[in-house]
Amino acid sequence: MTFVRVCGLGELEEDTPKRVELDGTPVSIVQTEGEVFAIHDICSHANVSLAEGEVDDCHIECWLHGSRFDLRSGKPDALPATRPVPVYPVKIDGDDVLVSLTQES
C-alpha cells in the first residue's frame, strides 16, 4: 500500500474538511474526535463536494440535500443518499498526514 503526503496536521482545523486531490481523485481530509479521516469528496447522491459540508459526531453532511456519511465507513445514515462513498487509509508520520488511495471500504 502506497501512502502519499496530503497535508500537515497543522493545516487541519477540527471538524473542518480540507479538500485535496490525489492522482485526480478528490478526497476530503477531516480531523475530528482525535482522529484524521480521508473520505471520497463527492457525494454519492448529488455529485457535489462533501468538503463544503459540516462535520458532526464522526459524520460529514452533504450541504446540498443533507445526506450524512460515516467518516469511518463511508456509509450513509441519512437520506437521500443510499450508496456509500469510499474511505481511504490514513497514517500520521510526525506532522505529515499520509493517505493511500487503496479503499478500506
40-96: per-residue pLDDT in tens? Answer: 999 999 989 999 999 999 999 999 999 999 999 999 998 999 999 999 999 999 999
Q: What is the pLDDT of residue 102?
A: 82
Q: Which of 4, 20, 12 is nearest to 55 (CA)?
A: 12
Instruction: Tell me the C-alpha distance between 31 and 75, whole Å.
Output: 18
DSSP 14: B
Please report which confidence band the pLDDT of residue 103 belongs to, taking 50, 70 and 90 as the band edges. low
Cβ-based neighbours of 64, under 8 Å, separated by 6 or more: 43, 46, 48
**Mean pLDDT for the stretch of residues 10-27:** 96
**N-term to C-term CA, the chain:** 15
Instruction: Tell me the C-alpha distance between 36 and 30, whole Å.
Output: 6
Q: What is the pLDDT of residue 104?
A: 58
Residue 105 has pLDDT above 70, yes or no: no
Helix, strand, or coil here: 34?
A: coil
**Residue 7 near residue 97, CB atoms below 8 Å:** yes
Q: What is the pLDDT of residue 45?
A: 94
Helix, strand, or coil here: 42?
A: strand
